[in-house]
Amino acid sequence: MQRIYLLLITVLMVIACQPGRKKNREAINRDTSHYTKQEYIAQTLDSGQVSTFLQRHPQFAPYSELIHEFYRKRGFHYAWINEEGITEQAGGFLNMMRSDEENGIRDSSLDKSRIQSLYDSLAQQGPSIDRKDTILPVAELLLTGQFFVYANKVWGGITSDSARDLEWFIPRKKINVESLLDSMIASPKKPINAQEPVNRQYKLLRDELQKMADIVKKHPSFDSLKMDKKSYQRGDSSALIAEVKARLQLLGDMKEADSSRQFTPFLDSAVRAYQTRMGHKVDGIIRQNTLDALNRPLQHYMQQILLNMERLRWVPVEVTTDYILVNIPEFSLHAYEDGKLAWSCNVVVGKPGTSTVIFNRDMKYVVFAPYWNVPPGILGGEVLPGIKRSGAGYLARHNMEVVGASGNAISPGAISWGKYSGANFPYIVRQKPGGSNSLGKVKFLFPNEFNIYLHDTPSKNLFNESKRSFSHGCIRVSEPKRLAQWVLRKDSSWTEAKIDAAMNATKEKYVTLKNKLPVFIGYFTAWVSSKGQLNFRDDVYGHDAKLAKLLFGK
Protein backbone atom coordinates (compact mmCIF):
# COMPACT_ATOMS: atom_id res chain seq x y z
CA MET A 1 0.00 0.00 0.00
CA GLN A 2 2.72 2.47 0.96
CA ARG A 3 4.65 1.80 -2.25
CA ILE A 4 1.55 2.35 -4.40
CA TYR A 5 0.77 5.52 -2.49
CA LEU A 6 4.26 6.92 -3.00
CA LEU A 7 4.07 6.15 -6.71
CA LEU A 8 0.75 7.97 -6.92
CA ILE A 9 1.93 11.16 -5.29
CA THR A 10 4.95 11.43 -7.60
CA VAL A 11 2.58 12.82 -10.24
CA LEU A 12 1.21 15.46 -7.86
CA MET A 13 1.66 18.62 -9.92
CA VAL A 14 2.26 17.33 -13.46
CA ILE A 15 -1.06 18.74 -14.70
CA ALA A 16 0.00 22.33 -14.09
CA CYS A 17 2.36 22.53 -17.09
CA GLN A 18 -0.23 21.69 -19.76
CA PRO A 19 -0.14 23.60 -23.04
CA GLY A 20 -3.41 25.28 -22.10
CA ARG A 21 -1.77 27.35 -19.33
CA LYS A 22 -2.08 31.04 -20.10
CA LYS A 23 1.10 33.07 -20.08
CA ASN A 24 1.30 36.32 -18.23
CA ARG A 25 2.14 38.87 -20.91
CA GLU A 26 1.46 41.93 -18.79
CA ALA A 27 4.21 44.51 -18.63
CA ILE A 28 6.18 44.14 -15.44
CA ASN A 29 7.72 47.23 -13.85
CA ARG A 30 10.20 45.90 -11.38
CA ASP A 31 12.35 47.76 -8.91
CA THR A 32 15.94 47.13 -10.03
CA SER A 33 17.53 49.63 -7.65
CA HIS A 34 18.70 46.76 -5.47
CA TYR A 35 21.06 45.51 -8.19
CA THR A 36 24.56 46.51 -7.14
CA LYS A 37 27.96 45.76 -8.59
CA GLN A 38 28.55 43.42 -5.70
CA GLU A 39 25.73 41.21 -6.90
CA TYR A 40 27.12 40.76 -10.40
CA ILE A 41 30.00 38.72 -11.72
CA ALA A 42 32.16 40.25 -14.41
CA GLN A 43 30.52 38.62 -17.41
CA THR A 44 26.86 38.43 -18.29
CA LEU A 45 24.68 36.11 -20.26
CA ASP A 46 23.50 37.10 -23.69
CA SER A 47 20.16 36.53 -25.34
CA GLY A 48 21.67 33.91 -27.64
CA GLN A 49 22.79 31.80 -24.67
CA VAL A 50 19.33 31.99 -23.17
CA SER A 51 17.68 31.03 -26.47
CA THR A 52 20.05 28.10 -27.03
CA PHE A 53 19.49 26.85 -23.50
CA LEU A 54 15.72 26.96 -23.86
CA GLN A 55 15.89 25.11 -27.18
CA ARG A 56 17.89 22.35 -25.51
CA HIS A 57 15.56 22.21 -22.49
CA PRO A 58 12.00 22.00 -23.86
CA GLN A 59 10.61 21.40 -20.35
CA PHE A 60 10.92 25.16 -19.85
CA ALA A 61 9.12 26.06 -23.10
CA PRO A 62 5.91 27.27 -21.37
CA TYR A 63 8.01 29.90 -19.57
CA SER A 64 10.34 30.83 -22.46
CA GLU A 65 9.05 34.38 -22.94
CA LEU A 66 8.96 35.05 -19.19
CA ILE A 67 12.54 33.83 -18.71
CA HIS A 68 13.76 36.01 -21.61
CA GLU A 69 11.94 38.99 -20.10
CA PHE A 70 13.39 38.29 -16.66
CA TYR A 71 16.98 38.46 -17.94
CA ARG A 72 16.34 41.34 -20.32
CA LYS A 73 15.11 43.51 -17.45
CA ARG A 74 18.19 42.74 -15.37
CA GLY A 75 20.57 43.42 -18.26
CA PHE A 76 21.24 39.66 -18.60
CA HIS A 77 23.19 39.69 -15.33
CA TYR A 78 23.32 36.46 -13.38
CA ALA A 79 20.71 35.96 -10.63
CA TRP A 80 22.11 32.93 -8.78
CA ILE A 81 25.86 33.55 -9.06
CA ASN A 82 27.75 36.61 -7.86
CA GLU A 83 31.33 37.53 -6.98
CA GLU A 84 31.09 35.36 -3.86
CA GLY A 85 30.19 32.33 -5.96
CA ILE A 86 26.91 30.40 -5.98
CA THR A 87 24.45 32.27 -3.76
CA GLU A 88 22.71 31.24 -0.54
CA GLN A 89 19.39 31.59 -2.35
CA ALA A 90 20.40 28.81 -4.74
CA GLY A 91 21.10 26.48 -1.82
CA GLY A 92 17.87 27.54 -0.13
CA PHE A 93 15.87 26.84 -3.27
CA LEU A 94 17.37 23.35 -3.63
CA ASN A 95 16.73 22.62 0.06
CA MET A 96 13.11 23.68 -0.35
CA MET A 97 12.59 21.34 -3.32
CA ARG A 98 14.27 18.50 -1.45
CA SER A 99 12.13 19.12 1.64
CA ASP A 100 8.97 19.07 -0.48
CA GLU A 101 9.96 15.75 -1.99
CA GLU A 102 10.52 14.28 1.46
CA ASN A 103 7.03 15.47 2.42
CA GLY A 104 5.44 13.72 -0.54
CA ILE A 105 5.17 16.76 -2.85
CA ARG A 106 6.93 15.25 -5.84
CA ASP A 107 7.12 16.07 -9.52
CA SER A 108 9.29 14.36 -12.12
CA SER A 109 9.60 17.61 -14.13
CA LEU A 110 11.79 19.10 -11.39
CA ASP A 111 15.24 17.81 -12.38
CA LYS A 112 16.88 18.29 -8.99
CA SER A 113 19.69 15.76 -9.39
CA ARG A 114 21.52 17.62 -12.14
CA ILE A 115 21.10 21.01 -10.50
CA GLN A 116 22.30 19.57 -7.21
CA SER A 117 25.51 18.24 -8.78
CA LEU A 118 26.21 21.57 -10.47
CA TYR A 119 25.49 23.42 -7.24
CA ASP A 120 27.79 21.13 -5.24
CA SER A 121 30.62 21.67 -7.74
CA LEU A 122 30.28 25.46 -7.66
CA ALA A 123 29.75 25.63 -3.90
CA GLN A 124 33.04 23.79 -3.31
CA GLN A 125 34.89 26.41 -5.35
CA GLY A 126 33.40 29.34 -3.43
CA PRO A 127 34.55 32.77 -4.69
CA SER A 128 37.39 31.19 -6.67
CA ILE A 129 35.10 29.74 -9.35
CA ASP A 130 36.40 29.89 -12.89
CA ARG A 131 34.39 32.70 -14.48
CA LYS A 132 34.88 31.12 -17.91
CA ASP A 133 33.66 27.70 -16.86
CA THR A 134 30.90 26.60 -19.26
CA ILE A 135 28.84 25.14 -16.41
CA LEU A 136 28.16 28.63 -15.02
CA PRO A 137 25.50 29.66 -17.57
CA VAL A 138 24.03 26.15 -17.51
CA ALA A 139 23.69 26.18 -13.71
CA GLU A 140 22.31 29.72 -13.76
CA LEU A 141 19.65 29.01 -16.38
CA LEU A 142 18.71 25.63 -14.90
CA LEU A 143 18.05 27.27 -11.55
CA THR A 144 15.94 29.99 -13.16
CA GLY A 145 14.01 27.54 -15.33
CA GLN A 146 13.30 25.27 -12.38
CA PHE A 147 12.24 28.24 -10.29
CA PHE A 148 9.60 29.17 -12.89
CA VAL A 149 8.39 25.56 -13.05
CA TYR A 150 8.34 25.24 -9.26
CA ALA A 151 6.59 28.57 -8.67
CA ASN A 152 3.84 27.82 -11.17
CA LYS A 153 3.27 24.24 -10.06
CA VAL A 154 3.89 24.28 -6.32
CA TRP A 155 2.69 27.81 -5.60
CA GLY A 156 0.21 28.16 -8.45
CA GLY A 157 -1.29 24.67 -8.72
CA ILE A 158 -3.36 23.23 -11.54
CA THR A 159 -4.78 25.41 -14.29
CA SER A 160 -7.81 27.64 -13.80
CA ASP A 161 -9.77 25.62 -16.35
CA SER A 162 -9.12 22.42 -14.37
CA ALA A 163 -10.31 24.14 -11.18
CA ARG A 164 -13.56 25.18 -12.86
CA ASP A 165 -14.04 21.60 -14.05
CA LEU A 166 -13.87 20.72 -10.34
CA GLU A 167 -16.70 23.21 -9.68
CA TRP A 168 -14.41 25.76 -8.03
CA PHE A 169 -15.53 29.24 -9.11
CA ILE A 170 -13.46 31.40 -6.74
CA PRO A 171 -11.02 33.45 -8.89
CA ARG A 172 -7.50 32.10 -8.72
CA LYS A 173 -4.65 34.13 -7.24
CA LYS A 174 -2.06 35.43 -9.69
CA ILE A 175 1.67 34.93 -9.23
CA ASN A 176 4.21 37.26 -10.87
CA VAL A 177 7.16 34.85 -10.92
CA GLU A 178 9.61 37.41 -12.32
CA SER A 179 8.97 39.90 -9.51
CA LEU A 180 8.99 37.08 -6.99
CA LEU A 181 12.42 35.88 -8.13
CA ASP A 182 13.68 39.48 -8.14
CA SER A 183 12.51 39.89 -4.55
CA MET A 184 14.15 36.67 -3.40
CA ILE A 185 17.44 37.52 -5.12
CA ALA A 186 17.34 40.94 -3.43
CA SER A 187 16.88 39.41 0.05
CA PRO A 188 19.84 37.04 0.50
CA LYS A 189 19.46 36.82 4.27
CA LYS A 190 15.75 36.03 4.19
CA PRO A 191 14.95 32.30 3.76
CA ILE A 192 13.16 31.51 0.51
CA ASN A 193 10.47 29.50 2.28
CA ALA A 194 9.63 32.63 4.30
CA GLN A 195 8.82 34.43 1.03
CA GLU A 196 6.59 31.75 -0.51
CA PRO A 197 3.42 33.24 -2.07
CA VAL A 198 1.12 30.75 -0.36
CA ASN A 199 -1.61 31.03 2.22
CA ARG A 200 -0.58 30.42 5.82
CA GLN A 201 -2.83 27.35 5.90
CA TYR A 202 -0.71 25.79 3.16
CA LYS A 203 2.39 26.01 5.34
CA LEU A 204 0.54 24.67 8.37
CA LEU A 205 -0.70 21.67 6.40
CA ARG A 206 2.78 21.05 5.01
CA ASP A 207 4.11 20.90 8.57
CA GLU A 208 1.39 18.41 9.50
CA LEU A 209 2.23 16.36 6.42
CA GLN A 210 5.82 16.13 7.62
CA LYS A 211 4.71 15.00 11.08
CA MET A 212 2.52 12.32 9.56
CA ALA A 213 5.30 11.19 7.23
CA ASP A 214 7.58 10.80 10.28
CA ILE A 215 4.97 8.58 11.95
CA VAL A 216 4.62 6.46 8.80
CA LYS A 217 8.38 5.84 8.76
CA LYS A 218 8.12 4.26 12.21
CA HIS A 219 4.67 2.70 11.74
CA PRO A 220 4.14 1.87 8.02
CA SER A 221 0.76 0.32 8.78
CA PHE A 222 -1.69 -0.03 11.66
CA ASP A 223 -3.29 -3.18 13.00
CA SER A 224 -7.06 -3.04 12.58
CA LEU A 225 -8.92 -2.22 15.79
CA LYS A 226 -12.12 -4.24 16.24
CA MET A 227 -15.13 -3.53 18.44
CA ASP A 228 -16.41 -6.34 20.65
CA LYS A 229 -19.45 -4.34 21.75
CA LYS A 230 -21.50 -1.41 20.49
CA SER A 231 -19.66 1.39 22.31
CA TYR A 232 -17.15 2.16 25.08
CA GLN A 233 -17.24 5.01 27.56
CA ARG A 234 -15.73 6.18 30.84
CA GLY A 235 -15.53 3.40 33.38
CA ASP A 236 -15.35 0.54 30.83
CA SER A 237 -12.46 -1.90 30.66
CA SER A 238 -11.26 -3.71 27.53
CA ALA A 239 -8.14 -4.72 25.62
CA LEU A 240 -9.40 -2.50 22.80
CA ILE A 241 -9.29 0.53 25.10
CA ALA A 242 -5.55 0.03 25.60
CA GLU A 243 -5.10 -0.14 21.81
CA VAL A 244 -7.13 3.04 21.29
CA LYS A 245 -4.99 4.82 23.87
CA ALA A 246 -1.82 3.81 22.03
CA ARG A 247 -3.24 5.06 18.71
CA LEU A 248 -4.38 8.39 20.17
CA GLN A 249 -1.02 8.88 21.87
CA LEU A 250 0.70 8.36 18.53
CA LEU A 251 -1.58 10.91 16.86
CA GLY A 252 -1.07 13.43 19.67
CA ASP A 253 -4.64 13.54 21.00
CA MET A 254 -3.75 11.76 24.25
CA LYS A 255 -0.87 13.47 26.01
CA GLU A 256 -0.59 11.08 28.96
CA ALA A 257 1.24 7.76 28.57
CA ASP A 258 -1.15 5.02 29.69
CA SER A 259 -1.26 1.40 28.57
CA SER A 260 -4.00 0.23 30.94
CA ARG A 261 -7.33 -1.29 29.83
CA GLN A 262 -9.36 1.26 31.81
CA PHE A 263 -11.42 4.00 30.14
CA THR A 264 -10.05 6.89 32.19
CA PRO A 265 -11.02 10.60 32.29
CA PHE A 266 -7.82 11.29 30.33
CA LEU A 267 -9.01 8.96 27.57
CA ASP A 268 -12.42 10.63 27.62
CA SER A 269 -10.72 13.98 26.94
CA ALA A 270 -8.54 12.46 24.21
CA VAL A 271 -11.52 10.88 22.46
CA ARG A 272 -13.37 14.22 22.56
CA ALA A 273 -10.34 15.96 21.06
CA TYR A 274 -10.18 13.37 18.28
CA GLN A 275 -13.93 13.58 17.63
CA THR A 276 -13.65 17.36 17.36
CA ARG A 277 -10.84 17.06 14.82
CA MET A 278 -12.74 14.53 12.73
CA GLY A 279 -16.12 16.30 12.81
CA HIS A 280 -17.84 13.52 14.78
CA LYS A 281 -20.36 13.95 17.57
CA VAL A 282 -18.29 15.10 20.55
CA ASP A 283 -19.35 13.00 23.54
CA GLY A 284 -16.25 11.00 24.55
CA ILE A 285 -17.87 7.70 23.57
CA ILE A 286 -16.00 5.31 21.28
CA ARG A 287 -18.32 4.09 18.54
CA GLN A 288 -17.73 2.38 15.21
CA ASN A 289 -17.22 5.67 13.33
CA THR A 290 -14.39 6.60 15.71
CA LEU A 291 -12.76 3.23 15.20
CA ASP A 292 -13.21 3.45 11.42
CA ALA A 293 -11.36 6.77 11.40
CA LEU A 294 -8.55 5.38 13.57
CA ASN A 295 -8.23 2.34 11.29
CA ARG A 296 -7.71 4.33 8.09
CA PRO A 297 -4.06 4.22 6.96
CA LEU A 298 -2.17 7.44 7.61
CA GLN A 299 -1.41 7.49 3.87
CA HIS A 300 -5.12 8.16 3.35
CA TYR A 301 -4.92 11.28 5.51
CA MET A 302 -1.64 12.32 3.89
CA GLN A 303 -3.33 12.26 0.49
CA GLN A 304 -6.24 14.27 1.92
CA ILE A 305 -3.75 16.87 3.15
CA LEU A 306 -2.11 17.01 -0.29
CA LEU A 307 -5.50 17.56 -1.95
CA ASN A 308 -6.25 20.52 0.30
CA MET A 309 -2.76 21.92 -0.15
CA GLU A 310 -3.56 21.95 -3.86
CA ARG A 311 -6.73 23.96 -3.19
CA LEU A 312 -4.78 26.34 -0.98
CA ARG A 313 -2.44 27.07 -3.89
CA TRP A 314 -5.40 28.74 -5.60
CA VAL A 315 -6.54 31.07 -2.81
CA PRO A 316 -5.20 34.52 -1.89
CA VAL A 317 -1.94 34.52 0.04
CA GLU A 318 -3.49 36.73 2.70
CA VAL A 319 -6.78 38.53 3.21
CA THR A 320 -6.40 41.45 5.62
CA THR A 321 -9.92 42.84 5.33
CA ASP A 322 -13.17 41.80 7.01
CA TYR A 323 -14.67 38.77 5.29
CA ILE A 324 -16.84 35.70 5.77
CA LEU A 325 -15.77 32.15 4.96
CA VAL A 326 -18.22 29.27 4.81
CA ASN A 327 -16.43 25.92 4.70
CA ILE A 328 -18.90 23.43 3.23
CA PRO A 329 -17.43 20.12 4.56
CA GLU A 330 -17.02 21.68 8.02
CA PHE A 331 -20.63 22.97 8.02
CA SER A 332 -19.30 26.18 9.59
CA LEU A 333 -19.27 29.92 9.01
CA HIS A 334 -16.23 31.96 10.11
CA ALA A 335 -16.27 35.75 10.45
CA TYR A 336 -12.92 37.53 10.11
CA GLU A 337 -12.02 41.04 11.22
CA ASP A 338 -8.93 42.56 9.57
CA GLY A 339 -7.97 39.07 8.43
CA LYS A 340 -8.20 37.52 11.91
CA LEU A 341 -10.86 35.06 13.07
CA ALA A 342 -13.48 36.84 15.19
CA TRP A 343 -16.12 34.13 15.72
CA SER A 344 -17.70 31.05 14.14
CA CYS A 345 -21.05 29.30 14.04
CA ASN A 346 -22.70 26.21 12.57
CA VAL A 347 -24.45 26.25 9.20
CA VAL A 348 -26.59 23.92 7.12
CA VAL A 349 -25.50 23.57 3.48
CA GLY A 350 -26.98 22.01 0.35
CA LYS A 351 -27.57 18.29 0.21
CA PRO A 352 -25.98 16.24 -2.59
CA GLY A 353 -28.02 16.87 -5.70
CA THR A 354 -28.72 20.48 -4.68
CA SER A 355 -25.19 21.18 -3.50
CA THR A 356 -23.90 24.58 -2.42
CA VAL A 357 -21.60 26.10 -5.06
CA ILE A 358 -17.96 27.05 -4.39
CA PHE A 359 -17.62 30.74 -5.28
CA ASN A 360 -17.24 34.23 -3.83
CA ARG A 361 -19.07 37.55 -4.07
CA ASP A 362 -19.45 40.71 -2.01
CA MET A 363 -22.33 40.95 0.44
CA LYS A 364 -24.45 44.01 -0.39
CA TYR A 365 -27.72 43.70 1.51
CA VAL A 366 -29.20 42.56 4.79
CA VAL A 367 -32.93 41.85 4.46
CA PHE A 368 -35.01 41.83 7.64
CA ALA A 369 -38.39 40.04 7.82
CA PRO A 370 -37.88 38.70 4.30
CA TYR A 371 -40.38 37.27 1.88
CA TRP A 372 -39.42 33.87 0.49
CA ASN A 373 -40.05 33.52 -3.23
CA VAL A 374 -40.54 29.81 -3.79
CA PRO A 375 -37.97 28.63 -6.38
CA PRO A 376 -39.21 26.71 -9.46
CA GLY A 377 -37.94 23.32 -8.28
CA ILE A 378 -39.76 23.50 -4.93
CA LEU A 379 -42.76 25.15 -6.59
CA GLY A 380 -43.21 22.30 -9.06
CA GLY A 381 -42.23 19.49 -6.72
CA GLU A 382 -43.94 20.51 -3.49
CA VAL A 383 -46.09 23.65 -3.53
CA LEU A 384 -48.21 23.24 -6.66
CA PRO A 385 -48.98 19.55 -5.90
CA GLY A 386 -49.97 20.64 -2.37
CA ILE A 387 -52.30 23.35 -3.69
CA LYS A 388 -53.88 20.94 -6.20
CA ARG A 389 -54.57 18.50 -3.36
CA SER A 390 -55.75 20.96 -0.71
CA GLY A 391 -56.78 24.09 -2.56
CA ALA A 392 -56.19 27.59 -1.22
CA GLY A 393 -56.02 26.19 2.32
CA TYR A 394 -52.47 25.02 1.54
CA LEU A 395 -51.41 28.63 0.95
CA ALA A 396 -53.02 29.81 4.19
CA ARG A 397 -51.44 27.06 6.28
CA HIS A 398 -48.00 27.93 4.94
CA ASN A 399 -48.53 31.73 5.19
CA MET A 400 -48.11 32.04 1.42
CA GLU A 401 -49.59 34.30 -1.23
CA VAL A 402 -49.54 34.56 -5.01
CA VAL A 403 -48.32 37.76 -6.67
CA GLY A 404 -47.85 38.95 -10.23
CA ALA A 405 -44.83 40.61 -11.78
CA SER A 406 -45.91 43.94 -10.27
CA GLY A 407 -45.88 42.49 -6.75
CA ASN A 408 -49.63 42.81 -6.28
CA ALA A 409 -51.47 39.88 -4.69
CA ILE A 410 -53.65 37.65 -6.86
CA SER A 411 -56.67 35.78 -5.53
CA PRO A 412 -56.05 32.00 -5.52
CA GLY A 413 -59.61 31.49 -6.81
CA ALA A 414 -58.74 33.39 -10.00
CA ILE A 415 -56.08 30.84 -10.98
CA SER A 416 -56.72 27.60 -12.90
CA TRP A 417 -54.20 25.55 -10.92
CA GLY A 418 -54.69 22.31 -12.85
CA LYS A 419 -53.12 23.56 -16.05
CA TYR A 420 -49.86 24.71 -14.48
CA SER A 421 -46.60 23.06 -13.48
CA GLY A 422 -43.50 24.58 -11.96
CA ALA A 423 -42.09 25.24 -15.44
CA ASN A 424 -45.01 27.24 -16.90
CA PHE A 425 -46.50 28.91 -13.81
CA PRO A 426 -46.76 32.63 -14.71
CA TYR A 427 -46.93 33.99 -11.15
CA ILE A 428 -44.78 34.10 -8.03
CA VAL A 429 -45.70 32.15 -4.92
CA ARG A 430 -44.07 33.68 -1.88
CA GLN A 431 -44.12 33.10 1.85
CA LYS A 432 -44.91 36.15 3.95
CA PRO A 433 -42.59 37.45 6.71
CA GLY A 434 -42.94 35.78 10.07
CA GLY A 435 -41.49 33.19 12.41
CA SER A 436 -42.53 30.28 10.17
CA ASN A 437 -40.95 31.77 7.05
CA SER A 438 -38.47 29.33 5.51
CA LEU A 439 -35.82 32.08 5.50
CA GLY A 440 -36.49 32.90 9.14
CA LYS A 441 -36.25 36.52 10.20
CA VAL A 442 -33.27 37.75 8.17
CA LYS A 443 -31.29 36.95 5.05
CA PHE A 444 -27.92 38.15 3.75
CA LEU A 445 -27.53 38.77 0.02
CA PHE A 446 -24.33 38.67 -2.02
CA PRO A 447 -25.94 38.72 -5.49
CA ASN A 448 -24.80 35.84 -7.69
CA GLU A 449 -25.91 33.75 -10.65
CA PHE A 450 -26.30 30.67 -8.42
CA ASN A 451 -29.09 32.25 -6.32
CA ILE A 452 -27.31 31.28 -3.10
CA TYR A 453 -27.43 33.38 0.07
CA LEU A 454 -27.19 33.14 3.87
CA HIS A 455 -30.36 33.10 5.92
CA ASP A 456 -32.08 32.32 9.21
CA THR A 457 -34.36 29.27 9.50
CA PRO A 458 -37.18 28.11 11.78
CA SER A 459 -35.72 24.55 11.71
CA LYS A 460 -33.19 25.03 14.50
CA ASN A 461 -32.92 21.33 15.40
CA LEU A 462 -30.80 20.53 12.33
CA PHE A 463 -27.88 22.54 13.75
CA ASN A 464 -27.41 19.83 16.38
CA GLU A 465 -26.53 17.24 13.72
CA SER A 466 -22.83 16.53 13.14
CA LYS A 467 -23.36 16.34 9.35
CA ARG A 468 -25.52 19.23 8.15
CA SER A 469 -26.20 18.95 4.41
CA PHE A 470 -29.99 19.33 4.24
CA SER A 471 -30.82 22.48 2.25
CA HIS A 472 -31.67 23.11 -1.39
CA GLY A 473 -28.37 24.98 -1.86
CA CYS A 474 -28.66 28.11 0.26
CA ILE A 475 -26.88 28.32 3.60
CA ARG A 476 -28.80 28.38 6.88
CA VAL A 477 -27.07 30.18 9.74
CA SER A 478 -27.41 29.06 13.36
CA GLU A 479 -26.74 32.55 14.79
CA PRO A 480 -28.48 34.96 12.39
CA LYS A 481 -28.93 37.80 14.89
CA ARG A 482 -25.23 37.69 15.80
CA LEU A 483 -24.33 37.75 12.12
CA ALA A 484 -26.63 40.74 11.52
CA GLN A 485 -25.05 42.59 14.45
CA TRP A 486 -21.56 41.80 13.19
CA VAL A 487 -22.28 42.81 9.60
CA LEU A 488 -23.85 46.12 10.75
CA ARG A 489 -21.53 46.77 13.70
CA LYS A 490 -19.84 49.77 12.08
CA ASP A 491 -23.17 51.53 11.58
CA SER A 492 -24.05 53.02 15.00
CA SER A 493 -27.69 53.50 14.02
CA TRP A 494 -28.23 49.72 14.02
CA THR A 495 -28.50 48.99 17.72
CA GLU A 496 -29.41 45.58 19.11
CA ALA A 497 -32.94 46.81 19.86
CA LYS A 498 -33.37 48.10 16.30
CA ILE A 499 -32.15 44.80 14.84
CA ASP A 500 -34.55 42.86 17.08
CA ALA A 501 -37.44 45.05 15.95
CA ALA A 502 -36.54 44.68 12.27
CA MET A 503 -36.22 40.90 12.54
CA ASN A 504 -39.64 40.59 14.15
CA ALA A 505 -41.45 43.05 11.88
CA THR A 506 -44.22 42.06 9.49
CA LYS A 507 -42.86 44.18 6.66
CA GLU A 508 -39.75 43.35 4.68
CA LYS A 509 -36.85 45.82 4.99
CA TYR A 510 -33.72 46.00 2.82
CA VAL A 511 -30.55 47.49 4.30
CA THR A 512 -27.74 48.36 1.87
CA LEU A 513 -24.27 47.85 3.33
CA LYS A 514 -22.01 50.90 3.24
CA ASN A 515 -18.86 48.83 2.74
CA LYS A 516 -18.43 45.67 0.70
CA LEU A 517 -18.01 42.46 2.66
CA PRO A 518 -16.40 39.57 0.74
CA VAL A 519 -18.08 36.21 1.21
CA PHE A 520 -16.15 33.05 0.28
CA ILE A 521 -17.93 29.70 -0.02
CA GLY A 522 -15.04 27.22 0.15
CA TYR A 523 -14.45 23.49 0.22
CA PHE A 524 -11.67 22.26 2.53
CA THR A 525 -11.64 18.75 3.99
CA ALA A 526 -8.35 19.22 5.85
CA TRP A 527 -7.09 22.30 7.70
CA VAL A 528 -5.35 23.43 10.87
CA SER A 529 -7.64 25.23 13.31
CA SER A 530 -6.88 28.48 15.14
CA LYS A 531 -5.98 26.23 18.11
CA GLY A 532 -3.35 24.42 16.05
CA GLN A 533 -5.37 21.19 15.65
CA LEU A 534 -5.30 19.24 12.38
CA ASN A 535 -8.89 18.68 11.24
CA PHE A 536 -10.38 16.31 8.68
CA ARG A 537 -13.90 16.13 7.26
CA ASP A 538 -15.79 13.84 4.91
CA ASP A 539 -15.89 14.59 1.19
CA VAL A 540 -19.59 15.50 1.22
CA TYR A 541 -19.89 16.31 -2.50
CA GLY A 542 -17.19 14.02 -3.91
CA HIS A 543 -14.89 16.92 -4.88
CA ASP A 544 -11.90 15.27 -3.19
CA ALA A 545 -12.40 12.15 -5.28
CA LYS A 546 -12.45 14.17 -8.52
CA LEU A 547 -9.35 16.15 -7.58
CA ALA A 548 -7.51 12.98 -6.51
CA LYS A 549 -8.21 11.42 -9.88
CA LEU A 550 -6.80 14.49 -11.60
CA LEU A 551 -3.67 14.68 -9.44
CA PHE A 552 -2.93 11.05 -8.69
CA GLY A 553 -4.66 9.12 -11.46
CA LYS A 554 -6.87 6.11 -10.76
The vertex-504 CA angle with 436 and 351, nearest 5°, equals: 40
Q: What is the DSSP string of 374-394?
A: PPHHHIIIIIHHHHHHHTHHH
**CA atoms of 179 and 70, how far apart (whole Å):** 9
Under a CB-based contact definition with an 8 Å cutoff, are residues 527 and 521 in contact? Answer: no
**CA atoms of 277 and 463, how far apart (whole Å):** 18
The verdict on whether 455 is a catalytic residue reads yes
Q: How far is CA 437 from the centre of its chain?
A: 33
**List of residues 6+ apart from 154 with CB closer than 8 A:** 13, 100, 105, 107, 313
**CA atoms of 276 and 270, how far apart (whole Å):** 10
The verdict on whether 345 is a catalytic residue reads no
**List of residues 6+ apart from 432 with CB closer than 8 A:** 371, 399, 400, 401, 506
Under a CB-based contact definition with an 8 Å cutoff, are residues 552 and 8 in contact? Answer: yes
Under a CB-based contact definition with an 8 Å cutoff, are residues 188 and 87 in contact? Answer: yes
Q: Which amino acid is at 104?
A: G
SS3 458: coil
466 closest CA partner among 279, 240, 220: 279
**Phi, psi angle pair for 333, to nearest 5°:** -110, 135
For the chain, what percentages of helix, strand and coil (3-state, to nearest 5) are there? 45, 15, 40
Find the catalytic residue in 334, 398, 474, 543.
474
Under a CB-based contact definition with an 8 Å cutoff, are residues 286 and 232 in contact? Answer: yes
**DSSP strand pairing (323-327 vs 509-522):** parallel
Residue 135 CB burial class (10 angstroms; 0-12, 13-18, ≥19): middle
**List of residues 6+ apart from 298 with CB closer than 8 A:** 212, 215, 216, 219, 222
Q: How far is CA 519 from the centre of its chain?
A: 14
Find the catalytic residue in 398, 455, 472, 543.
455
Element (H, E) at 93: helix 88-102
Handedness of CA 183, 189, 190, 191 (dihedral sign): positive
SS3 120: helix
Q: Which residue numbers are catalytic?
A: 455, 474
